[in-house]
Structure 1
Amino acid sequence: MSVSKLALDDYLPYRLSVASNAVSTLISTAYDSIHGLKIPEWRLIWVLNEDGPSTQQALVKRTGMDKVTISRAAQALAKRRLITRAPHEYDGRSHHLILSSEGERLFADVAPSAVEFEKVVLANLSAEEVVVLKDLLRRVEEAALKVQNDKSK
């Protein structure tokens, strides 16, 4: 397809961004209105709940968010005592972020609503289509990361 024939609505990065924003905004209602959490803060809570203590660098890799976004989200969560910080055992410049018991309770309160919103968003897809969609998204992500890594060498 030539550049002059490319329509924005057919451009993959645009479609992915718009879809991601729409889904994230919808699901964020589950934790923003009740708990006052922003999308990056909820992502950190979910990752820390799933992965356990993590460094900010590990969270950047895991979430795809930049360092500044991770840092701001971590500061906001620490201020609310939803996470704690512990020194890194090998790197004095780094520390681990750890979900506090209050953060664990918040996750347990919010996660069911987030899962329900996901079900609503995916309701028009069959179970097989959901599996294919998630697989395709992972493959697109892996391809983009490979190109980034190849360019940085």
Structure 2
Amino acid sequence: MDTATRPDAPSPEAADGLVLDRFLPYRLAVLANTVSRAIARLYADRFGITIPEWRVLAILGDSGPATSTEIRDRSAMDKVQVSRAIQRLLAARLVSRRTDPADRRRATIAMSPEGAAVYREVVPLARSREAILLDGFTADERRTLDRLLDRLGERAGALAGPDDGRGGDVD
């Protein structure tokens, strides 16, 4: 018997229940994963990079050289994901690492010329997927969506607090 038709199943409307398909954090996570996988198909086979690796390249392409902590903070990936992505990108020679001579615990990650070439090829592909996603939205709807996402991001940041448990180790 389907749980929705069981007499002892909680009602979706129950105040103490959770309707997962209407729960905003769940919906956002599923949407983000679905979009990431759709874009990943564009670069995974062609360039052999994963979603976390692309995120690192995208951050470096947008902001320039950064520490792993800065990359972690911008990407919302955990420390292990960022570290593994950077290691794979280093091995593929898509990024380089420069140790700070004043503080040997701190390193800056930068895109290599090869990484920049991959970035330049992937960006138009990613932007084309973004255009497909937004097709059918009016300019006003797009601005509204942008404002709402910004507000949700601010609220989520406030909810997470100053230290969200990812640690504050030096790079």
Common topology (TM > 0.5): yes
Aligned length: 151
The Cα shift of 1:89 comes to 4.6
Counterpart among 123, 142, 150 of residue 111 in structure 1: 123
Once the two structures are superposed, residues 37-56 of structure 1 have per-residue CA deviations (whole angstroms, 9 ceiling, x without a partner) of: 11110011011011111000
Looking at CA atoms only, which structure, 1 or 2, has the larger radius of gyration?
A: 2
Measure, in 1, the Cα distance between the counterparts of 2:88 and 2:76: 19
Measure, in 1, the Cα distance between the counterparts of 2:139 and 2:27: 22
Once the two structures are superposed, residues 72-126 of structure 1 have per-residue CA deviations (whole angstroms, 9 ceiling, x without a partner) of: 0000000000000001254321200000011111111111011001111111322
Aligned to 2:59: 47
* More helix, by proportion: 1
Measure, in 2, the Cα distance between the counterparts of 1:117 and 1:63: 19
1:1-153 alignment, distance < 5 Å: 2-4=15-17, 6-149=18-161
Runs of 4+ with deviation above 3 angstroms:
none
CA RMSD of aligned residues (A): 1.6
Measure, in 2, the Cα distance between the counterparts of 1:110 and 1:134: 23
Identity %: 36
Gaps of 5+ in 1: none
- Please report the TM-score for the alignment, with normalisation by the length of structure 1: 0.92
Gaps of 5+ in 2: 1-12, 165-171
